[in-house]
Amino acid sequence: MIGLTIGAVAKAAGVNIDTVRYYERIQLLDEPPRSATGYRQYSDDAVRRITFIKQAQRLGFTLAEAAELLALHVSVVPCDEVERRISAKVAQIDEKIAALTAVKNALLETVARCESDCETGCTVLLRDVETDGAACLRIDPVRNPHAADEQDGCCAPAR
C-alpha cells in the first residue's frame, strides 16, 4: 500500500519520525514519492525495512551492518555468506563478553580486597598499574574534599 504518512510509518514500526527521516538521509530507506501537497507517501515496505533494521540492531548489528544485511536480502546471496556474516557478529559478541567479564572480575576482586583489607573510612580504591599491589586513594572530606593522598596499603587512616 502506498500513501502512508511519515507518522503512520513511524507508529507502525515503533520508532519516532526523526528516525524515519534519519534512515532516509543515510539511505537505509529510499526517499518516498510526495503527494501534490508535498507530503511523503510511504509504502508498507518502509515499515518492513525499518522493523528489519531495528531487529538487526537488537541483535547487535550496527546500522552499516544492517544496510549490508538489507542488500543481501534484496539480492540472491548464498546461505553460507549470510551464515559467515552472522558467525562474525557472534565472534564479536563473544569478544565483548570476554572483555566485560574481565572488567567485572577485576571490580569484584577490588571490592573483595576492600572488604577484607580496608579500615573504616575507605572511600576510593585504585589498582596501581605501576606496581604489583593495590594502592588505595584516601580522600579526607573534612580536610579537603578534592585532595587525595596515596597511602601504603589499603585505606590507611588519614594523616
Q: Describe the chain by its helix, strand, coil percentages, rounded to 5.
A: 50, 10, 35
In this prediction, residue 122 carries a pLDDT of 56
Residue found by looking up cell 507502525 in the block:
12
Give the chain's domains with CATH numbers.
2-77 (1.10.1660.10), 95-151 (no CATH)
Give the pLDDT confidence of 44-87 residue by residue, as tens digits: 999 999 999 999 999 889 999 999 888 887 777 788 888 898 89
Which of the four pLDDT bands, split at 50, 70 and 90, describes residue 158?
very low
Q: What is the spatial distance between Cα 54 and Cα 50, in angstroms, rounded to a whole number?
A: 6
Q: What is the spatial distance between Cα 38 and Cα 41, in angstroms, rounded to a whole number?
A: 9
Give the pLDDT confidence of 4-52 residue by residue, as tens digits: 999 999 999 999 999 999 999 999 999 999 989 988 899 999 999 999 9
Bridge partner list, 126: 135
Joined grid coordinates for residue 142? 573534612
In this prediction, residue 156 carries a pLDDT of 44
In this prediction, residue 67 carries a pLDDT of 92
Residue found by looking up cell 510509518 in the block:
9
In this prediction, residue 81 carries a pLDDT of 84
Region 119-129: mean pLDDT is 49
Furthest C-alpha separation in the chain: 78
Contacts within 8 Å (CB) and 24+ apart, 111-115: 113/154, 114/154, 114/155
Cβ neighbors of 60 (< 8 A, separation 6 or more) are 89, 92, 93
